Amino acid sequence: MPSYIGAIDQGTTSSRFLIFDENGKIVAIHQIEFPQYYPHPGWIEHNPNEILDTVSKCVNDAINQFLNDKTRSIKDIKAIGITNQRETFIAWDKNTGKPLYNAIVWCDVRTLDLVHNLTEQIEHGVDIFRKSCGLPISTYFSAVKLLWMIKNVPAVRDAHNNDTLLVGTVDTWLIWNLTGGINGGLHITDVTNASRTMFMDLNTLEWNQHILDFFNVKKCCLPKICSSSEVYGHIKIRDTEIPIAGILGDQQAALVGQKCFKSGEAKNTYGTGCFMLFNTGTTPFFSKTGLLTTVGYKFGNMPPVYALEGSIAVAGSAIKWLRDNLGIIKESKDINSLAALTPDTGGVYFVTAFSGLYAPYWRDDARGCIVGITQYTKKEHIARATLEATCFQTRAILDAMNSDSGHPLTYLKVDGGMTVSDLCMQIQADILGIDVERPAMRETTALGAAIAAGLAVGVWKSLSDLDKVNSNDNDVFKPQISSDNSTQRYQLWQKAVEKSFDNQYELD
């Protein structure tokens, strides 16, 4: 009988459940968007119960689709993997199971002052723990979010003091609830998500007590760290126990889904944000150019595989901003036809630094700006400049990776929602000056979680068994402009980036 693998893909703006066959083909999918909450400028929150509810509904509806084929049984689903928005942090009470505060989302910048207060008086500043955890102290990562909760939310502080606090990234919240909650739910995470908290040591793959002491956080509130591919427990769906067997942060899941298993291979995911990961092998590599060191994946008892990462805070969310805030498009997909009305941006550059700039700039004082506007500027120029913004930031990251590795990439694997646009991918190839390869089935983040789960339960016996998975009909975009043209445009982009600096807003 055929085997199938389920994947919960819990993202920044929506939750999804997908079911794949052994060749990586989607046989069922359901997606639900959920609200974003903005209580103050720079603050972004999610309701943890709404996240859980949308996941449960997606699982139920996708299962219904799957079973429409009467030859299938729910027992044909051999395992479920989970992938999730990373760094977003949730605190709840282990006795009641109730969230003690909304989830603070990865791109939230309420902790700016806290970061500055923590780092301004210490040697090495924001990089004090980079050799241990691979990350700078930043608003981006989970540690400062948890510290903010302890300092500012009495319920969280009391639970922390009384040892009734449980915390974790979104994967941890989901698994705890899906495996029983207050009735024996598993409080776990995997190495990829743990590596985004700042609390995990990259060498030992354990919580680092020195860092915990710095942030005054008790280890007992943190989940157990597991590999990315093993049977952790079971989820009960319609009287059938299905193993939960894979956990990967969303960007690491895309690395696995793109099958970047060799050192030197890289992928770029264009979602709410944009994230490039470069496989560096089984030894952590620490960047000299502002990139992050992270765990790429760890399959069972195999050694961990590490990656360099460049992160862009705003990618697809800039398109949503054009739709929801400016109203120049009705649907996100409309940006492509609008941007295609003009062959260039008319000299307009859009720096989408809505919550600062991440790698390789690491400027939390940067703010969004549109430069080069004249009376000639039309909405199609703004639309095209929005697409170009992500492509230029990707070039900045790629240049940093090439500098660190000493072996320039010759092609880049891509995935995510923005890659649906042929125009955007052609712009990307032009700006990078290398081939851009897009898979036919672009849900590689969910596929990565499914691969991790499938490897754990034997649907695939080895990595070589994955050669047939999502391998056919890839699209390749080749550069169509000269290197000099590309470099000139990139230099103008860098000047626009400088205009975005020193523009902090008040968070009160």
Start-end of H helices in 168-282: 170-178, 191-194, 209-215, 250-257
Among the candidates 203, 221, 248, a domain finishes at: 248
Check whether residue 234 and residue 307 sit in a common domain.
no
Give the count of alpha carbons within 13 A of 317, CB side only: 19
Going by pLDDT thresholds of 50, 70 and 90, the confidence category of residue 35 is very high
Query: Which residues are bridge partners to 293 per DSSP?
Result: 308
Give me the sheet containing 266-270, strands edge to edge: 292-297, 305-312, 274-281, 266-270, 411-415, 435-438, 475-477
Considering the entire predicted model, what is its pTM? 0.87
On the question of pLDDT at 477 being above 50, the answer is yes
- Residue 279: name the closest of 298, 266, 269 by CA: 266
Question: For the segment 276-296, what is each residue's pLDDT rounded down to a tens digit?
Answer: 999 999 989 888 888 999 999
- Residue 145: name the closest of 100, 112, 189 by CA: 112
For the record, the structure tokens of 171 come out as: 């994967």
CATH number assigned to the domain comprising residue 492: 3.30.420.40
- Amino acid code (one letter) for 122: I
Which residues span the domain enclosing 298?
A: 259-438+478-508
In angstroms, the CA 80 to CA 246 distance is 7
Check whether residue 204 and residue 267 sit in a common domain.
no
Number of domains in the chain: 2
Calculate mean pLDDT across residues 454-467. 91
Question: For the segment 404-436, what is each residue's pLDDT rounded down to a tens digit?
Answer: 888 788 889 998 888 888 999 999 999 999 999
Residue 443 lies in a domain: no
Highest mean pLDDT pick, 206-215, 409-418, 466-475: 206-215
pLDDT of residue 503: 67
Going by pLDDT thresholds of 50, 70 and 90, the confidence category of residue 508 is very low
How far are the Cα atoms of 93, 95, 144, 183 from residue 163, in angstroms, in the given order? 9, 10, 19, 18
Check whether residue 389 and residue 243 sit in a common domain.
no
For the record, the structure tokens of 399 come out as: 């240049």
On the question of pLDDT at 507 being above 50, the answer is no
Assess contact for 432 and 322: CB atoms under 8 A: no
According to DSSP, the β-strands at 224-226 and 188-190 are: parallel
Residue 339 lies in a domain: yes
Residue 462 lies in a domain: no
For the record, the structure tokens of 494 come out as: 């860098």
According to DSSP, the β-strands at 266-270 and 292-297 are: unpaired
Check whether residue 318 and residue 407 sit in a common domain.
yes
pLDDT of residue 368: 87
Question: For the segment 438-448, what is each residue's pLDDT rounded down to a tens digit?
Answer: 998 888 999 99
